[in-house]
């Protein structure tokens, strides 16, 4: 589902807009890559119809990449989750 939010709504919650048109820096092997999202596993739906969407993210390391593929590795001794106590997600991006 996609939704819109007005500048006034953003201001009311103290949020900052991010320009998605900005180009990210070039990939480099061994550097961190940020993954973030709202996984269904962490979503809570309440009896009144409201829901809570919890953000999850991680910072795995880039192992290798090509124009169509990014391969990352996750090492719990090196890569800490962004939410303590929540295990890292295994992501398959096709």
| Single pTM value for the model | 0.44
The pLDDT profile of the chain, 94 residues, written as one tens digit per residue, is 556 778 788 888 887 776 666 676 677 887 777 777 787 888 889 999 898 888 777 777 888 888 888 888 777 777 766 666 666 654 444 3
Reduce the DSSP state of residue 7 to 3 states and report it: helix
Q: How many Å apart are CA 69 and CA 66, to the nearest integer?
A: 5
In 13-49, which positions are buried (b, 16+ CB within 10 angstroms) versus exposed (e)? eeeeeeeeeeeeeeeeeeeebebeeeeeeeeeeeeee
Domain boundaries, the chain: 27-94
Q: Tell me how far apart the alpha carbons of residues 49 and 69 are, in angstroms, rounded to a whole number.
A: 39
The count of other CB atoms within 10 Å of the CB of residue 86 is 15
């Amino acid at each position: 589902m996609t939704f819109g939010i007005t500048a006034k709504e953003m201001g009311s919650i103290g949020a900052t807009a991010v320009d998605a048109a900005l180009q990210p820096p070039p990939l480099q092997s061994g550097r961190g890559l940020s993954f973030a999202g709202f996984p269904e596993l962490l979503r809570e739906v309440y009896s009144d119809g409201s829901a809570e969407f919890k953000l999850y993210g991680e910072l795995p390391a880039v192992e290798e990449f090509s124009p169509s593929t990014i391969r990352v590795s996750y090492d719990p001794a090196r890569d800490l989750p962004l939410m303590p106590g929540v295990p890292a997600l295994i992501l398959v991006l096709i």
